[in-house]
Structure 1
């Protein structure tokens, strides 16, 4: 797959393209992209996605706090696995937001020879959302491509969306979020030095530094799988997200206790995949009560992993 900024793309092959943020690359996204790839191959065309970075709401609605389900690189890897030929990224800024629908499409066509543009029923393009479905259909006739409407796709009679997944995660419901994603929700980051409290109480943890704009599940304790990205080894784990109220610490942290593991991994990259919520974060009267509860959490996680 070719993954680049739109400005550097000079495609010659007729292309079927869809446009969107595709944060999470969840099951509805996957359904659309598989159909796009299949149709492109039938027509001997390329399949392509145009996405934006940063999220348009960071520019258009700066008062809203955006929490990403996936980084742009994670989205690229997921799309490559689905068979997409091109992921083109358009940096979103004030100038981009001012483009008319026609100017936007002309910019796109300067780099990618679009044969079909696949868009959802609520899709809008261009300044103030002027590029509605009828407008884009007329522009397609003028500029030489057709519009392929994408119907809503449901899972268990529910419309799957990135917003719905964020709501699940905010409630600690990682299992429903994972169902909508079609894979476990995960966080990726570098292990940084912590305060060593876990090691002192017999449960050493990897303190994983996560980008500040990445979505986190609700504060609490989770059954997880942790993968070391450099050597691909995976370990069961129990992970705490929160402010560690027993110690009076401020600021949310992601701390994973890996089972049957005792290595120095500072500076190494991990992927923490969330499988099951165990409990919410609690404040304990003392260290002994905390240690006992962590022991119960770890036992629950080990048994859950053995059964699943």
Structure 2
């Protein structure tokens, strides 16, 4: 599903793009919206590293010519492996599918790489498996990045992502205490499912329109003012 589009995902997309260029084909990446955990366990703690628009942008930046976004819901989750492959093939003529070694798909993850290869032998497409990318002696994964962010280790998370972790939000009105002190702040409203780092003060960049500005961010419940809702400002 490419959540976060980390270095491992980028290597897979680079291989997809390389083969597509050589064959004169289109490199098409597929992802879900919402992410499976958001659809099947809506009350789960926030865990998303990216939304669908961000994933599409990052996948294209990694080398994909186009991105197809499948709507993930209970009906999609109930698809068997063959039905899942039919959905993928419905996005266009499939000549080659590139996946990781632990790729599973279909209802209860019943399909795997060998399932995909067997179907490819029947329907005329090949399957390429890309080795995982390691960093620091361990495989890069979205789960590993989530754990680093929850611990406040944004530097190591950025190393695995290949870029600083970023969030997008809507500027909303706050309590205006900073303005009264001569230091107005920007308050961001973020989707509930978006994973934020551990509470703290962070150096960051803000991108607004065409501008990019160095800034400091406070993430937490503002205990000086009695706590309350978690705020990013």
TM-score range (shorter-chain normalised) is over 0.9
C-alpha deviation, 1:62, in angstroms? 4.7
Task: State which of 73, 82, 92 in structure 2 corresponds to 1:102.
Answer: 82
Confirm or deny that 1:217 pairs with 2:197.
yes
Q: What's the offset of the Cα at 1:158?
A: 2.2
- Structure with greater Cα Rg: 1
Who is 2:185 aligned against? 205
2: CA distance between counterparts of 1:242 and 1:111?
43
5 Å matches for 1:127-276? 127-228=107-208, 230=209, 232-255=210-233
Structure 1 SS opposite 2:166? strand
In structure 2, relative to structure 1, the CA distance for the partners of 1:31 and 1:50 (3 Å cut) is same
State whether residues 105 and 111 of structure 2, in contact with CA within 8 Å, keep that contact through their aligned partners in structure 1: yes
Is the 8 Å Cα contact of residues 140 and 160 (structure 2) preserved in structure 1? yes
Q: Conserved in 1, the CA contact under 8 Å of 2:221 and 2:231?
A: yes
User: 1:238-281: CA deviations, max 9, x gaps?
Assistant: 110000001103110011xxxxxxxxxxxxxxxxxxxxxxxxxx
Q: How far off its partner does 1:155 sit? A: 2.0
Contact preservation (8 Å) 1:169, 1:217: yes
Distance change >3 Å, CA 66–CA 114, structure 1 → 2: farther
CA distance in 2, matches of 1:95, 1:63: 19
| Contiguous gaps of at least 5 residues in structure 2 | none
Unaligned 5+ runs, structure 1: 1-20, 256-308
Q: Deviations over 1:110-161 (max 9, x none)?
A: 3311111112111111112111222221111112211111212112322111
Secondary structure at the residue paired with 1:205?
Answer: coil
The separation in 1 between residues aligned to 2:39 and 2:206, in whole angstroms, is 34
Taking only aligned residues, the RMSD between alpha carbons, in angstroms, comes to 1.5
* 2:79 is equivalent to residue 90 of structure 1: no
Q: Are the counterparts in 2 of residues 208 and 254 from structure 1 also a CA contact under 8 Å?
A: yes
Matched, 1:51 2:11: no
How many positions carry a matched residue from both structures? 233
**Whole-angstrom distance in 1 between the partners of 2:218 and 2:130:** 40
Q: 2:70 matched to 1:70? A: no
Q: How many angstroms apart in 1 are the aligned matches of 2:157 and 2:62?
A: 20
Distance 1:50 1:162, change over 3 A: same
Specify the SS of the correspondent of 2:28. strand
CA distance in 2, matches of 1:102, 1:247: 56
Contact 1:242 1:253 in 2 (8 A): yes
Comparing both structures, which one devotes a greater share of its residues to strand? 1
Residue 24 (str. 1) matches residue 7 (str. 2): no
In 2 relative to 1, CA 111–77 (structure 1 residues): closer, same or farther, beyond 3 Å? closer
Give me the TM-score of the superposition, normalised by structure 1: 0.72
